[in-house]
Structure 1
Amino acid sequence: MTTPPLYHQFTTSFGSINTFQPIPLEISLSHPQTFRSFSNTYLSSKHGTVENEMSLTLSSVVLPTFSKGLDTLTHILQAAQEHASKNGINADDTYPNARLVDDMRPLTFQVQNSTRTVLRVVSRLQGTAEEAWEDNETTFADFYKRIDKARNILKNADVKKIDERAETQVDVPLGPQIFKISAKDSALNQGIPNFFFHLQTAYAILRAQGVPIGKRDYIGSFLGI
């Protein structure tokens, strides 16, 4: 026989996340690790409830995610240049116009739209007008300048305003349709997925061109490696 499962509730500004972890009835000193885990856990006398408060804000989720994604974009572009240099390839002539299939946009477009997503999402969250960026990048040097512009958007973001406006209704265009949703949902359910769509496509284009990059190159920035 076992005790009722412990009920873990993680409360965030986006709602509650519930998980269950059964705890054995018999906890003996022959299992010190289990005993320590049990003794450090608060058990309510009636329900065996554990409540852990974990506070997250919208800015603390969105801004670091974009920042680390830009690190990944920079890393795979640098890997492409290194590969080109070692193999007698002109990176600026070969990669910017490369694409996965004929009816998909090239690498240049993926760099432009991943960075534009950062600009657009942060502007929408702050309630400020979106800056006008020209899409005139043609070289890797241009790509890095564009990424730096996106980094500056993140660096100068108004964190307080972003968090205060999380539930403000905003217009989000998708093709011919316009969706009216909260600023929070626009960032989490449209902005971030769109950013990763273009980042992943940039990765896939370079990989298809023979650049020796793998999963570690893609997620390393998110793990700090």
Structure 2
Amino acid sequence: MPLSLHAAFVPSCRQVIGGCLAVLAKAEAAGIGDLGEQKLAPDMFPLAFQVQSVAAHSAGAIAAVRAGQFSPGGGLPMPEPDYASFIAMLAEADAALAAVTEAEMEGFIGGQTDFVFRDRRMPFTSENFLLSFSQPNFYFHASMVYAIFRNKGVALGKMDFMGRPRMSL
């Protein structure tokens, strides 16, 4: 049986968003503060950008496919650098993903979605935008949320990043 676009995108995004929420909970419990300054390298975007990008390249990517265009940030505001704002942004993204149906996503196949940044336009079919652009970006930024806190000494492991696997029980 072929894998649907929905099955290839939505469940994994929701799983890793769950992991990001668990990472944030552990970091908050560990007392990691000054969230506006947390990053791995001086030339790296801060934690708030990483959280925004996780939301933008998951639920925001679906919204972009509906609109036919995606720009950096996915039209989402930069969250305040605090746990409540980060959690709210990721919970909203998860809820939006939960509302997307397989039928709607199958209807995206063959559509056009452009990535637009300043004077640059990159055309994609909608499925290639989701699977070759947003999905890799999603995983990259989610891994940065994990890595920033792991680097700060929060006791995190791979399962914290992965979230809850979808086992058949």
Cα RMSD for the two superposed structures = 2.3
Task: Give the distance between the partners of 2:54 and 2:107, measured in 1 at CA.
Answer: 25
Structure 2: gaps (5+ residues): none
* C-alpha distance in structure 2 between counterparts of 1:156 and 1:96, whole Å: 31
2:56 to 102, 111, 116: 116
- How far apart, in 1, do the equivalents of 2:35 and 2:94 lie? 23
TM-score, structure 2 normalization: 0.85
1:161 CA displacement: 2.3
Q: Which has the higher relative contact order, 1 or 2, with Cα contacts under 8 A spaced 6 or more apart?
A: 2
Structure with the largest fraction of strand: 1
**Aligned equivalents of 2:77, 2:151: Cα separation in 1:** 28
Match of 1:80 in 2: 27
1:6 aligns to what? none
Percentage identity across aligned positions?
23
Contact conserved, 2:68 with 2:112, CA < 8 A, in 1? no
Deviations along 1:121-142, one digit per CA (max 9) or x if unpaired, are 1113334788853224221011
SS class of match (1:179): strand
The one-letter code of the counterpart of 1:67 is R
Q: Which amino acid aligns with 2:24?
A: L
Which residue matches 2:11? Answer: 64
Task: Give 1 or 2: higher helix fraction.
Answer: 2
Instruction: Map 1:26-41; keep pairs closer than 5 Å.
Output: none
Query: Which of residues 171, 189, 192 in structure 1 aligns to 2:135?
Result: 192
TM-score scaled by structure 1?
A: 0.65
> What does 1:129-168 align with in structure 2 at a 5 Å threshold?
132-168=75-111
Which consecutive unaligned segments of at least 5 residues does structure 1 have? Answer: 1-53, 85-90
Between the aligned partners of 1:128 and 1:186, the Cα distance in structure 2 is 10
Comparing 207-216 with 191-200, greater Cα deviation is found at 207-216
CA distance in 2, matches of 1:132, 1:176: 17
User: What is the CA–CA distance in structure 2 between the aligned matches of 1:211 and 1:175, rounded to whole Å?
Assistant: 38
Alpha-carbon deviation of 1:177? 3.2
Larger C-alpha radius of gyration, 1 or 2?
Answer: 1
Distance of 1:57 and 1:223 partners within structure 2: 16
**Count of matched residue pairs:** 164
Q: Structure 2 matches for 1:12-31, cutoff 5 A?
A: none
**Secondary structure of the structure 1 residue equivalent to 2:109:** coil
- 1:37 is matched with which residue? none
Amino acid at match of 2:141: H
